[in-house]
Amino acid sequence: MFGTVVVGVGIAGLARIRDLMNPMPSSPSEHLKLFGFVSRRSFGNINEVKQISLEDALRSKEIHAAFISTENRSHEETIRMFLEAGKHVLVEYPMALSAKAARELWEMAEQKDKILHVEHIELLTEEYKQLKKEVAGKDLVKGTLHFTGCVLDENKTGFPAFSGIARLTWLIDLFGDLTVTSATREQQKDKNYSRMTVHFQTANK
């Protein structure tokens, strides 16, 4: 069995705990053993999974990998700690708030001979696979992707572009490398409203 720990118990972290506790039959998850979860808040146990300290998770010889599901700004530091401790890391996107930091983390994982995987679960859904089949072999002339959500705390999540990074990953996976041709941002703080509009161009214009 491959020992794991979940770091962060927001929506994504709780989903990780649920899935690790109830793996699909004959899936690789059946070989993972959840030893606990780490959180700044005090919970005790969640669904019979015990809370452990970050220090214990880093030191434990039984824990081989960490699933990081914290707010965006803490991803980089947490990844570094677990790689330094000799653990494999799976992190929810984005891995870091800068490309420079992301490259450093990839290099660190290679030096440590550890897996560093950025998870984008949406690319594995049946709906997305169907969408990819529908666009295969076709030329994109023009398109719009409209994504809505709540206004996020930029101190925790980073610049608004990071809130939509998953959708950008969709577009690159579907249509190849993209170039940003323009980007604008509109804010109405009194209405708690923010909107970012970005125009991209494919390699063949």
Question: Looking at residue 134, which CATH number applies to its domain?
Answer: 3.30.360.10
Q: Same structural domain for residues 100 and 166? A: no
Residue where one domain finishes, among candidates 91, 119, 147: 119
Query: Which of 156, 155, 151 is closest to 196 using CA atoms?
Result: 151
pLDDT the model gives residue 28 = 85
Q: Same structural domain for residues 82 and 39? A: yes
C-alpha 2 chain-centroid distance = 21
Give percent above pLDDT 90 in the chain.
55
Each residue's pLDDT tens digit, 122-151: 887 889 899 999 999 888 889 888 878 777
Q: Same structural domain for residues 69 and 160? A: no
CATH number at residue 38: 3.40.50.720
**Confidence category of residue 163, pLDDT binned at 50, 70, 90:** low
For residue 164, give the DSSP letter: T
Q: What are phi and psi of 88, to 5 degrees?
A: -75, 155
pLDDT the model gives residue 68 = 97
Q: Same structural domain for residues 61 and 132? A: no
The residue behind tokens 């709780």 is 14
Q: Same structural domain for residues 107 and 147? A: no
Calculate the alpha carbon distances from 162 to 30, 63, 98, 133 in Å: 32, 30, 10, 27
Indicate the number of domains in the chain: 2
Mean pLDDT on 52-59: 97
Mean pLDDT on 177-203: 91
The verdict on whether omega for the bond into residue 94 sits within 30 degrees of 0, i.e. cis, is: yes
Residue where one domain finishes, among candidates 119, 154, 180: 119
Residue where one domain finishes, among candidates 78, 103, 119: 119
Cross-sheet strand order for the sheet of 116-119: 32-38, 2-7, 65-68, 88-92, 116-119
Q: What are phi and psi of 23, to 5 degrees?
A: -65, 150
The answer to whether residue 8 scores a pLDDT higher than 70 is yes
Each residue's pLDDT tens digit, 20-32: 999 888 888 899 9
What would you report as the CA-atom Rg of the chain, rounded to the nearest whole angstrom? 19
Each residue's pLDDT tens digit, 66-78: 999 998 889 999 9
Question: In which domain, by residue range, is 173 found?
Answer: 125-202
Q: Same structural domain for residues 138 and 166? A: yes
